[in-house]
Amino acid sequence: MNNPSRPRSPHVQVYRPQLTSVLSFGHRLSGLFLSLGAVLLVGWLLTAATEAQAFINLNAWLGSLLGLLLLFIWTLALFFHLCNGIRHLLWDAVIGFELVAIYRSGWIVVFLSIALTLVTWALALWQMG
């Protein structure tokens, strides 16, 4: 397989991104982003439990434009990873493997995760007044 005297034909450099590979990469990327956000969540809880000033500062940063944007993306990652995770669980039960089902479930995951994110944020902003 490894013959250094021959070039390796391009793969990720030329392959067309399709719903299959893009959603799969998105699942991995959202999982990574969720992990980082979870660390931030733990930090937030720690400051809430201990230092009041640090908690206030952290909340102020989270309320800034950048903080809100990151929280929005984290919510999107959460719902995408959740919906795509259910799709993965169905696949583990060998359900939904026909190409039409793969594409249908893929688009449902995309639209459902965006919709859930928007609903959650609308509710949160409405609750905040």
Partner 1 sequence: MLIKSSDELPRKTLFKRFPIPRNAQVPPEFRIQPGKVWPEPEGAENVKRLRIFRYNPENGKPPQIDTFTIDRDDCGPMLLDALLKIKAEIDSTLTFRRSCREGVCGSCSMNIDGTNWLACIRSMDELDEPATIYPLNNLDVIRDLVGDQRHAFAQYAAIKPWLQAEAPSNGIEHLQSPEDRNKLDGYYECILCFCCTSGCPSHWWNGDRFLGPAVLLQAWRFLADSRDQATAERLDELEDPFKLYRCHTILNCTRTCPKGLNPGKAIAEIKAKMITRQS
- Asked if 91 interacts with partner 1 (CB under 8 A), we say yes
Stretch that binds partner 1, among 15-23, 36-44, 60-68, 70-78 (CB under 8 A): 15-23
Return d(Cα 76, Cα 34) in angstroms, integer. 10
Q: Which is nearer to partner 1, 21 or 64 (CB)?
A: 21
Least distance (Å) between residue 24 CB and partner 1: 4
- Asked if 13 interacts with partner 1 (CB under 8 A), we say yes
φ, ψ for residue 7 (rounded to 5)? -70, 150
Looking at 5, 50, 53, 127, which residue binds partner 1 (CB under 8 A)?
5
- Asked if 120 interacts with partner 1 (CB under 8 A), we say no
Element (H, E) at 96: none
17-76 binders of partner 1 (CB under 8 A)? 17-21, 24
8 Å CB contact between 22 and 103: no
∠ CA 68-71-72, rounded to 5°: 85
Residues 6+ positions from 71 with CB-CB distance below 8 Å? 62
Q: Which is nearer to partner 1, 11 or 129 (CB)?
A: 11
Q: Which is nearer to partner 1, 7 or 129 (CB)?
A: 7
Q: How many residues does the chain have?
A: 129
Return d(Cα 71, Cα 63) in angstroms, integer. 9
Applying CB under 8 A, which residues contact partner 1?
Answer: 1-3, 5-21, 24, 88, 91-94, 97-100, 102-104, 107
